[in-house]
Amino acid sequence: MTDLTRLTLAAARDGLKQKSFSSAELTAAYLKAIEAANPSLNAYVAVSADEAHAMAKQSDAKLAAGEGGPLEGVPLGIKDLFATKGVHTQAASHILDSFKPEYESTVTSQLWRDGAVMLGKLNMDEFAMGSSNETSYYGPVINPWRADNSNAQLVPGGSSGGSASAVSAWLCAGATATDTGGSIRQPAALTGTVGVKPTYGRCSRWGIVAFASSLDQAGPIARTVEDSAIMLGSMAGFDPKDSTSAELAVPDFAAAVERGVKGLVIGIPREYRMDGMPEEIEQLWQQGIAWLKAEGAEVRDITLPHTKYALPAYYIVAPAEASSNLARYDGVKFGLRDTGKDITDLYNLSRAEGFGREVKRRVMIGTYVLSAGYYDAYYVRAQKVRTLIKRDFETVFNDGVDAILTPATPSAAFGVGDEDMKADPVKMYLNDVFTVTVNMAGLPGIAVPAGKDSAGLPLGLQLIGKPFDEETLFAAGRVLERSAGIDFAPTPWW
């Protein structure tokens, strides 16, 4: 039999329905692949083999009876940011040591409702803060891709680096991820996978460890545009437990995938042509424009004048919200606790030991920009900038633009332990230069693998859509995927 782990999510789902193989077999194949690969890739921080076997068995019983949901028997990986009842949930942080929630996040409960099987929890940057998956307490995730003729280890991007690496290396049929400033789209671009950051409010945030609540959104990372549409269909939906969740019906995303782009107006924002951007990224962008035109889209130059302020404003808003959200980790209610001479000492010692360097940096920045005297100068101003960024997008969409095409990242995957980025955190932050605008404006975005650089590493393009119009992104994303016609399969070395 062909290797079951290589099937797309759609093909696995169909094969299960047709009883070409069972969920028990498919699940066992994934667990075996994880066991072999994880010592090299470090994509999973916890494997829930017992749960996986039990869920697969249940799915097989349903499938045998001709029943089951849209994901019946399909094995998925779950980012460690999602609360999974009774199963390791630590946001890849030391401070949540041994935390096992009493409840299930809304997004994961919808996946289980639809029949999916949980393989385990995926590594990530600590509290989703990072762009390389090197801030995890559990160590870095390694990208399954390597440059031609090189054995150097590359990062998979972050913060959903475990999700991206696992999907790319066939260690799950699809994965959940979250995106606050680019954490779904950037790792997808760096691993040749598809990542979807839905409109803010499309997926419930209930039961997802909060980073920056006004920016956080859950979404899928998958191997194809169709797979990502299928997953989002199960993940999305109104949830009264999240007051920012949108009370809207979930469209049939998968049905939109083959719609094409004929007659659509695609905007090309001039501000995304950054100084010092590698020529290969510019070429890929031009190639994407040509593909969309060839399929009948009208391409139009647009301007989003406040783009350059998005990254600085994000690095005020996101840390501000993080410093507030992370105040709850005090050593009393969850996870790690140090003994101190009094309660204040206990708080201080637990937080000093439990949080990593990047998380501490964010808490300090956030506390600073929210403090009396600086609040107006930083936080209030950043919120005003945010409104202007949102308005830029509204203007172009009101002028008839249906979606916007940009590069997904300013470079291909970089090396683990990159000295430049270690020395200067702002260099790391620049990875999100094309993605943060979308979070600041609450819009949907998709990253689709579209080409390779001269070293053979995957590069992605990003499409940005109107609020709650993920369907157009799937349709246009599929055109890019089909036009590229590349099988984004890394050469296994692990």
Stretch that binds ligand GLN, among 51-59, 176-184, 281-289, 330-338 (CB under 6 A): 176-184
Determine, following the binding rule CB under 6 A, whether residue 350 of this chain makes contact with ligand GLN.
Answer: no
Q: CA 484 to CA 494: how far, in whole Å?
A: 27
Beta strand 217-222 with 174-179 is antiparallel
Stretch that binds ligand GLN, among 173-181, 221-229, 417-425, 477-485 (CB under 6 A): 173-181
Distances (CA, A) of 128 to 93, 155, 172, 210: 10, 15, 20, 9
Q: Measured from the CB atom, is 112 or 127 closer to ligand GLN?
A: 127
CB of 432 to ligand GLN, least distance (A): 5
Question: Any idea which residues carry the catalytic annotation?
Answer: 79, 159, 183
- Token pair for 47: 């494997």
Determine, following the binding rule CB under 6 A, whether residue 182 of this chain makes contact with ligand GLN.
Answer: yes
CB of 94 to ligand GLN, least distance (A): 18
- Fill in the per-residue mask, 183 to 222: x = in contact with ligand GLN (CB under 6 A), - = not in contact: x---------------------------x-----------
Cβ atoms of 269 and 256 within 8 Å: the answer is no
Residue from 134, 179, 321, 469 touching ligand GLN (CB under 6 A): that is: 179
Residue from 72, 126, 239, 432 touching ligand GLN (CB under 6 A): that is: 432
Determine, following the binding rule CB under 6 A, whether residue 233 of this chain makes contact with ligand GLN.
Answer: no
Q: How many CB atoms lie within 10 A of CB 427?
A: 15
CB of 184 to ligand GLN, least distance (A): 7
Determine, following the binding rule CB under 6 A, whether residue 123 of this chain makes contact with ligand GLN.
Answer: no
381-388 contacts, C-beta under 8 A, 24 or more apart: 381/316, 382/312, 382/313, 382/316, 382/317, 382/320, 383/317, 385/306, 385/309, 385/310, 385/312, 385/313, 386/313, 386/317, 386/440, 386/441, 388/306, 388/309
Residue from 84, 106, 180, 406 touching ligand GLN (CB under 6 A): that is: 180
Please name the amino acid found at residue 298.
Answer: E
CB of 166 to ligand GLN, least distance (A): 17
Determine, following the binding rule CB under 6 A, whether residue 406 of this chain makes contact with ligand GLN.
Answer: no
Identify the CA nearest to 362 among candidates 152, 29, 126, 159.
126
SS3 35: helix
Q: CA 280 to CA 189: how far, in whole Å?
A: 14
Binding residues for ligand GLN, per CB under 6 A?
128-131, 159, 179-183, 211, 318, 432
